[in-house]
Chain A
Amino acid sequence: MRTAITPLQLLEPKTLVTALKMLRNDGPLTPLAGCTDLYVGLNFGTLPAKRYLDLSRLGPLRRIRMEAETLVIGATATYTDIIGSRHVRRRIPMLVSAAREVGGPQIQNRGTLGGNIANGSPAGDTLPVLAAAEAVVALESVDGLRKVPFTGFYTGYRTSVMRPDELIVAIEIPVIDGAQWFRKVGTRAAQAISKVVMAAVRASRPRVALGSVAATVVRLPRTEAALAGGAGMAEAQRVLMDEIHPIDDVRSTAEYRKQVSANLLARFWAETG
């Protein structure tokens, strides 16, 4: 543990109203829930924040429920909650696939969907799923609730439209027509950060989202348009490889990521046809 704990402060609200007031009046505060990303930074001594807001006592924030035709996943629902939810299984099986590949059981038992969004890693396993699902992020502050399309949530590498006094309270999943597809490519099945992760929906207007190929999760509008327009797979793959601009890093090379992304597109199309 490379962070001195003693100077740190944890606020432990018991209700959402109190939590939102603390964010507004006592900020800046870093929210924490499953801590599966946050404590990695704390253990490495790379987390500058001194003041934290515990969301674990806010029971209603963990609920998964249907509101009419919309699936509403509470921000602190864990991957294990998601895997076990019949609503999620029925409505968005590609999210179950993604949740099963996050870390191992220990991480799935603690990590939360809201945390994956707030952490904002370009490699976040669930993020391409939410982009392909055209999910909506529900943000709440003392001023009230506002809803942001997930595809417009990030503004850059680990930056978003969320204000410091706002909390992600839920993720809304609309009805998804068409076959859903998910694939994560990493060094091993469990406990690996993705080299490339793709989620896609096969419908009259196909949707393709990729993680780990840009500063944020991305949708591929040009590739989607090519597929919708009846382009052959070779042509669609050329469009995709022109559309993405991955980087070389410790996990993989740009060239590898481009080729694997193109391969995944072909596999998605073949397996959902």
Chain B
Amino acid sequence: MSHQPSAMSLVRFTLNGAVVDITAHPLKRLLDVLREECGLTGTKEGCGEGECGACTVLVNGEPVCACLVPFAHARDAEVLTIEGLHGDHPLQRAFVLEGGAQCGICTPGMILAALVLGENPPIEKLRAGLAGNLCRCTGYEAIYRSVATAWNDGDVAAKRRGAGAGA
């Protein structure tokens, strides 16, 4: 059979809890489909080679680099991007309060990679779980602190009040 470029594929998948039908080339990177076809620009491109984890999204509950996933592999899958956390997730609040975000490019990927570690992960699990996410602002301690305190509602609420009073 001679070479025939693939036609655009209609792919049905679940995006942040809603079933969507998206049309794109089956080999287009999931990263680009999310940003362009779906208009969700919270997923960032860092290195484009699976080294930095900035484009991390969850596919069927597992963190993956969206720059290394062909769109065809989204078929029937559940995809969660940072937009699916609606801005008020405990991890997101903690990253704000603890200074876990500096330039912010790694942040969506960090939060999604941290999300699968469950509440209050021990530090070794946290380090291993975020080993695939690089922060070029070298903010790892603040990032670890953000995840470590995210689930401690009392602390976060107290700090929020403190931050408000100081502002």
- The verdict on A7 contacting chain B, using a C-beta distance below 8 Å, is yes
What is the CA–CA distance of A52 and B72 in the complex, to the nearest angstrom? 12
What is the CA–CA distance of A52 and B67 in the complex, to the nearest angstrom? 17
What is the CA–CA distance of A44 and B53 in the complex, to the nearest angstrom? 17
**Structural contact, A110 and B27, CB atoms closer than 8 A:** no
> Which chain B residues lie closer than 8 Å to A5 at the CB level?
25, 27-28
- The verdict on A36 contacting chain B, using a C-beta distance below 8 Å, is yes
A30 to chain B: closest CB distance in Å? 11
What is the CA–CA distance of A35 and B26 in the complex, to the nearest angstrom? 13
Identify which of A98-106, A130-138, A148-156, A163-171 touches chain B.
A98-106
Count, A-B residue pairs, CB within 8 A: 100
**A36-B68, A80-B62 in contact; A50/B132 too (CB < 8 A)?**
no
Interface centre among A7, A51, A110 (most CB of B within 10 A): A110
Number of interface residues of A (CB under 8 A): 35
Number of interface residues of B (CB under 8 A): 34
Identify which of B1-9, B13-21, B83-91, B142-150 touches chain A.
B1-9
A85 to chain B: closest CB distance in Å? 16
The 18 listed contacts between A and B (C-beta, < 8 Å) are A1-B32, A5-B28, A10-B70, A26-B1, A36-B68, A39-B68, A43-B67, A44-B48, A52-B27, A105-B132, A106-B65, A106-B113, A106-B132, A107-B50, A109-B63, A110-B64, A110-B65, A190-B128
Given contacts A12-B26, A43-B67, A109-B63, 9 further A-B contacts (CB under 8 A): A6-B5, A9-B5, A34-B68, A39-B29, A40-B50, A40-B68, A44-B49, A107-B132, A110-B69
